[in-house]
Chains A and B, each alone.
Chain A
Amino acid sequence: RKEVEQDPGPFNVPEGATVAFNCTYSNSASQSFFWYRQDCRKEPKLLMSVYSSGNEDGRFTAQLNRASQYISLLIRDSKLSDSATYLCVVSPWSWGKLQFGAGTQVVVTP
């Protein structure tokens, strides 16, 4: 079983719509959680950290459910520029080592 699992998608989303997807992690002792964004074959870039109480950054909302061991990302009012692969990232330790999911592809269509 993979440490971090994601639905690979693609999630095809009309422009302006809302899309949400989850990621599950296997290590209940995981400390930190992130969403990274990766455009086609380019480097991953941090989208947002995920806090226990949930957090928003503009049109993006991240939630953490420790009991069920999953995190979620919701994108509101989708833009064409949101088309990318979203990587779920978990740190089981407190010192900078990360585990990456394989990514969820989102395609926003006009």
Chain B
Amino acid sequence: DADVTQTPRNRITKTGKRIMLECSQTKGHDRMYWYRQDPGLGLQLIYYSFDVKDINKGEISDGYSVSRQAQAKFSLSLESAIPNQTALYFCATSDSSGGDGYTDTQYFGPGTRLTVL
């Protein structure tokens, strides 16, 4: 089984709908992240969480919210989806106790392809 899973893998929805994307991990990592990827752009950080009680906005948090239900679960919500939120969304995890002493390697889920019509 994959260490980082995302559901759903594909979703088509309409403008104004509320959408939740879910991420689960079995790696035991404390840090979790949500990114979006658009063609021709690098991954952009939406939100990140360094532990269950720590939630932080990333570069592009407007229109999104998150919930860290447990160390292993981090969900992303679009309260009222709009077409420019059509993108590929990735969840990632990292372990603050590991790594090279500077920044810890991030492990990505398989992605959710979201289309907002």
The chain A residues found within 8 Å of chain B, CB to CB, are 2, 4, 8, 31-32, 34, 41-46, 49, 87, 91, 93-103
Residue pairs across A and B with Cβ atoms less than 8 A apart, 14 shown, are: A32-B102, A41-B113, A43-B108, A43-B110, A49-B105, A91-B102, A95-B50, A95-B96, A96-B31, A96-B94, A96-B106, A100-B42, A100-B43, A101-B42
Chain A, interface SS category: loop
Chain B, interface SS category: loop
CB distance from A61 to the nearest CB of B (A): 18
Q: Which residues of A lie under 8 Å from residue B102 when comparing CB positions?
A: 31-32, 91, 94
CB distance from A46 to the nearest CB of B (A): 5
Q: Which residues of A lie under 8 Å from residue B43 when comparing CB positions?
A: 44, 87, 100
The answer to whether B103 touches A98 (Cβ under 8 A) is yes
